Amino acid sequence: YENAFAPIEFDCYKTYETLLNSYSSGIQDEDYNDLVEQYGKCNIVLPEKSIFTLLIESILSPFYIFQIFSCALWYSSEYEIYATCILITSIISVTSELVDLKRNLNNLKKMIDYEC
């Protein structure tokens, strides 16, 4: 049964003082080692994607595919100004998404790598 799920039991009728005294000091090294042995280390692996990969993933979303076809349609129908506006707006939007996504991934990586 070493890989079986076992629910954690908690006595919800304990007083606040009892809970504070029991859990405020953390766990002992021996208990920590037992838990690591039982469950393993808590490691989160975040694969690093290049900006080019993120760009391709972003552009291949249904919205931007629709925008590409819209631009092609408007350019072929001689609505160059409208198509150019769509194109510029889409480029600004994709760039903004990439900057935010890269910033969020970097922040997430910092949180993952953080140790007390």
Single-letter amino acid, residue 50: S
Provide the 3-class DSSP secondary structure of residue 49: coil
- Neighbour count for residue 52 (Cβ, 10 Å): 8
pTM for this model (two decimals):
0.62
Q: Which pLDDT tens digits describe the chain residue by residue (116 residues)?
A: 566 777 778 888 889 998 888 888 888 888 889 988 888 887 888 888 999 999 999 999 999 999 999 999 999 998 999 999 999 999 999 999 999 999 999 999 888 887 76
